[in-house]
Amino acid sequence: MTKRLFAGAALFAVGITMTGGVALAVTSTTGINLVNPLSCSDLVCVAQNIVNFLWLLAIPLCTIMMLIGGFQMMTAAGNPEQFSNGSKTLQYAAIGFVVVLLAGGLVTFIKSLFGQ
């Protein structure tokens, strides 16, 4: 089940990227405003918009995967293989979240290199 969820999330992210990308920005007067991240004039702006979109995906997806991993561990009922699967799910969720954090840090580092 977790492989299917990761595959679905990956296909969704690739589909959004291939269709021009969509990032959400909340405005106080109109509600939700869709912004095309590829409409920027420089590469750093595009990278920042993509990382912001990844944050929108990463936080709920990581939370769901941690809940699934914890549920697998709690319902293992002494089955070491199922407990191990739950533990791996938790590890992969944490690693994925760290990758998203590092992506944000990388964009900030690149912005400082270019003096922006």
Q: What is the pLDDT of residue 111?
A: 80
More confident residue, 10 or 45: 45
Where are the chain's structural domains?
Answer: 2-113
User: Residue 17 has which token pair?
Assistant: 């990227």
Please name the residues in contact with 40: beta carbons below 8 A apart, sequence gap of 6 or more: 46, 49
pLDDT at site 51: 82
Q: End-to-end alpha-carbon separation of the chain, Å?
A: 43
Contacts (Cβ under 8 Å, ≥6 apart) of 8: none
Residues 59-113: tens digit of each pLDDT: 899 999 999 999 999 999 989 999 999 999 999 999 999 998 888 888 888 888 8
**0.85 exceeded by pTM:** no
Nearest to 34 by CA among 47, 102, 19, 61: 19
User: CA–CA separation, 34 vs 16, rounded Å?
Assistant: 12
pLDDT tens-digit map of 11-53: 455 444 444 444 444 444 556 676 665 677 777 777 778 888 8
Q: What is the pLDDT of residue 75?
A: 94
